[in-house]
């Protein structure tokens, strides 16, 4: 198979980068990227090596288990080689593992699933029940002697309940609560904060002062027996046969080790998958870091039958939780025209799955942000989900640059800007905008926004319909929508009698609107849904709002000088004034009910909605909350009073449970509303 020079260079660059981050993580305990981003690099290299077998190399980091040991520690040669589990990232990966196992055994095995703790692996050697050596994994063959430090961990026994000679493996970790307290103390002293509990656990074990280790309050879970001296008659003295992984865990507990109690046995892979999904949702509830589950064939004889590859056991696999950070490539940077005329740079990405969805685009915000992060076309970047859904480019992996990456420069012209297409940087801001105040694309976006659910809510008037109406020159501004007649629409393709009737009916129903929605519909720069609501409550009528002065605007909480200037500037435009007056003749604005915040049931309360509400549209739910004096927030914090969770809630529900914020189902929320009516 012919291999391109570009592919060969990519493989070499990936190997160099992975080796570097491997050393930073395993040897120096100073990682620069997240575990998820590291996993993404390894996964890309594995895929390339599988696709091009000629590129396979025994020295590749995909064939290694860890990293070298530090010189300051005595080296310990492991009696039993240390393996590293292969990773599964999707349900399909797990099913493929199950298929390989069933094929290898000729039957369907029983599986044992355990939580995968994100800590530092330790190998403990006991002779006649006494701890003699504690070592890190190292490169799988040789580790570091950290016995003196490990002796400071209360949950690791110096003497076992039985005088057995045994080698066991487990994970050392720092409780998240201890980590948070340490960082609070360091912040008070003005010291640099620790990155995460895993790093500090590893750093606490791999330093020369046992007193420091003792002060860090580390903990452990032991999960595997690597070797038992055959002279240890455990079968008779313990009443255990050690035929299964489950029995092994029970023996570890009887010997005095701390084991994680959440392991479960399953008859097939479906149960394992369900178990993994359950823990992905509730992982934040535990006081230790979790990054997945470990799945093993339960029967030890079958484990021996399946055996090992050069790097990993065939009888087990690590199922990683959905990544919140991944790596991908910026294939291009394009400009996107918003409804206010602002041009936003957007990264066109090599499609990648992150946090449960495939992402191929991510906003880069503005020119200054691109420069600050030094993002270039062709860069390999770290991508993460910001909040529940918004993809964000964290930054580039500079070590993977080939020299062919290109800087992005804002053009002087943009074809969708109308007129001569010129663009300019907004004075005092990092944003660019079209010089011409109107353009086809900009106007299409404004009209689509105007008809959208959160504004005039004209059912059936989405982007395609708006585009068709504009192309036929039936509408060109907001007021035209309410002037349309049946005859105007009959000439259009795909507009049958019924669809025309439905659209005109929806437009008629939309004529009645609140002042807040009316203000939000105008696409005034800086004025979104919540600001429009504040303006409506303050000015009470459309006429008073149109005569707003800087002084009056300054009286409104949350309306700063930038928003005030945008409103004043909008009304200074003669065409905007004309459009405003035309619209007022076409619509009916409902009187504003001024909120009596001190007297309403939800006064001072903040609500967050997540998931799908089946019996009440989300916007109606928001209106109900506001009418009772409550406020709507898009993010959960300790100040949140209540989270309303519908079907398929997102990460907001998990965060609410973590922070102890009250959560209501849709039924409970409706009952609460009924109690206030």
Q: What share of the chain is helix, strand, coil (3-state, %, to 5)?
A: 40, 20, 40
Is residue 116 part of the annotated active site? The answer reads yes
Query: Residue 271: which of 98, 103, 106, 118 has the closest Cα?
Result: 98
Burial level of 656, CB count in 10 A (0-12/13-18/19+)? buried
Residue 132 corresponds to which tokens in the numbers above?
């003699």
Helix 176-188 / helix 197-205 crossing angle, nearest 10 deg: 90
Exactly one of 6, 72, 103, 116 is catalytic; name it: 116
CA distances, 311 to each of 58, 245, 524, 625, 657 (Å): 11, 21, 60, 57, 39
- Residue located via tokens 């509400």: 613
Residue 187 corresponds to which tokens in the numbers above?
């912040």
Pairing label, strands 316-320, 87-88: parallel
Long-range Cβ pairs for the range 574-582 (8 Å, 24+): 575/437, 576/522, 577/546, 579/477, 579/478, 579/479, 580/522, 580/546, 582/479
Vertex 597 angle, CA 596 and 599, to 5°: 70
Residue 411 corresponds to which tokens in the numbers above?
């053009």
Burial level of 472, CB count in 10 A (0-12/13-18/19+)? middle
How far is the C-alpha of 363 from the C-alpha of 345, rounded, in Å? 6
Kind plus residue range of the DSSP H or E element containing 219? strand 219-228
Query: For residue 317, what are the β-bridge partners?
Result: 295
How far is the C-alpha of 422 from the C-alpha of 436, rounded, in Å? 7
Kind plus residue range of the DSSP H or E element containing 393? strand 390-396
Q: Report DSSP letters for 463-516, one per residue.
A: HHHHHHHHHTTS-SSHHHHTT--HHHHHTSTT--HHHHHHHHHHHHHTTEEEHH
The conformation of residue 398, written as its DSSP 8-state character, comes to: G
Residue positions annotated with a catalytic role: 116
């Amino acid at each position: 198979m012919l291999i391109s020079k570009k592919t060969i260079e990519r493989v070499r660059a990936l190997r160099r980068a992975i080796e570097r981050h491997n050393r930073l993580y395993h040897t120096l305990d100073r990682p620069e990227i997240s575990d998820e981003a590291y996993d993404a690099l390894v996964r890309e290299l594995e895929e390339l090596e599988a696709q091009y077998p000629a590129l396979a190399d025994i020295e590749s980091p995909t064939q290694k288990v860890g990293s070298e040991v530090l010189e300051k520690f005595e080296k310990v040669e492991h009696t039993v080689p240390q393996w590293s589990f292969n990773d599964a990232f999707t349900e399909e990966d797990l099913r493929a593992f199950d298929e390989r196992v069933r094929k290898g055994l000729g039957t369907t095995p029983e599986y044992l699933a355990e939580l995968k703790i994100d800590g530092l692996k330790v190998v403990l050697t006991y002779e006649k029940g006494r701890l003699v050596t504690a070592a890190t994994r190292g490169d799988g063959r040789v580790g570091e002697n950290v016995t003196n430090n490990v002796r400071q961990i209360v949950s690791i026994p110096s003497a076992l309940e039985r005088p057995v000679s045994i080698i066991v493996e487990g994970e050392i970790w720092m409780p998240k609560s201890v980590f948070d307290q340490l960082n609070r103390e360091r912040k008070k002293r003005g010291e640099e904060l620790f990155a995460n509990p895993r790093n500090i656990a590893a750093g606490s074990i791999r330093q020369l002062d046992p007193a420091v280790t003792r002060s860090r309050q580390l903990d452990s879970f032991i999960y595997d027996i690597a070797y038992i001296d055959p002279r240890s008659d455990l079968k008779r003295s313990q009443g255990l046969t050690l035929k299964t992984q489950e029995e092994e865990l029970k023996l570890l507990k009887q010997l005095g080790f701390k084991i994680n109690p959440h392991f479960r046995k399953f008859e097939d892979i479906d149960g394992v998958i369900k178990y993994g999904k359950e823990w992905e949702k509730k992982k934040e509830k535990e006081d230790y870091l979790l990054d997945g589950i470990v799945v093993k064939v339960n029967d030890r004889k079958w484990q021996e039958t399946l055996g090992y590859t050069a790097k990993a056991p065939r009888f087990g696999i690590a199922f990683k939780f959905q990544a919140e950070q991944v790596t991908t490539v910026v294939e291009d940077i394009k400009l996107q025209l918003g409804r206010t005329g602002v041009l936003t740079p957007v990264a066109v990405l090599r499609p990648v799955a992150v946090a449960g969805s495939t992402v191929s685009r991510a906003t880069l915000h503005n020119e200054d942000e691109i420069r600050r992060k030094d993002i270039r076309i062709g860069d390999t970047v770290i991508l993460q989900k910001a909040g529940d859904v918004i993809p964000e480019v964290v930054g580039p992996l500079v070590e993977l640059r080939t020299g062919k990456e290109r800087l992005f420069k804002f053009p002087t012209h943009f074809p969708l800007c109308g007129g001569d297409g010129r663009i300019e940087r907004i004075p005092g801001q990092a944003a660019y905008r079209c010089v011409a105040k109107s353009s086809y694309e900009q106007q299409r976006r404004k009209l689509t926004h105007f008809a959208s659910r959160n504004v005039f809510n004209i059912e059936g008037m989405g982007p395609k319909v708006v585009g068709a109406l504009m192309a036929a020159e039936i509408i060109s501004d907001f007021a035209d929508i309410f002037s349309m007649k049946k005859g105007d629409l009959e000439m259009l393709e795909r507009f049958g009698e019924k669809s025309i009737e439905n659209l005109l009916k929806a437009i008629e129903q939309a004529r009645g609107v609140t002042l807040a929605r009316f203000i939000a519909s105008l696409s005034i720069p800086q004025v979104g849904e919540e600001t429009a609501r504040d303006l409506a409550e303050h000015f009470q009528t459309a006429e008073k709002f149109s005569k707003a002065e800087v002084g009056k605007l300054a009286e409104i909480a949350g309306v700063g000088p930038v928003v005030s200037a945008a409103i004043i500037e909008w009304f200074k435009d003669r065409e905007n004034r004309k459009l405003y007056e035309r619209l007022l003749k076409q619509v009916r604005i409902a009187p504003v009910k001024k909120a009596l915040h001190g007297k309403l049931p939800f006064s001072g309360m903040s609500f967050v909605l997540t998931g799908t509400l089946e019996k009440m549209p989300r916007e109606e739910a928001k209106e109900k909350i506001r009418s009772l004096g409550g406020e709507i927030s898009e993010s959960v914090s300790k100040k949140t009073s209540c989270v309303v969770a519908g079907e398929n809630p997102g990460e907001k529900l998990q965060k609410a449970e973590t922070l102890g914020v009250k959560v209501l189902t849709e039924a409970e929320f409706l009952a609460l509303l009924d109690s206030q009516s």
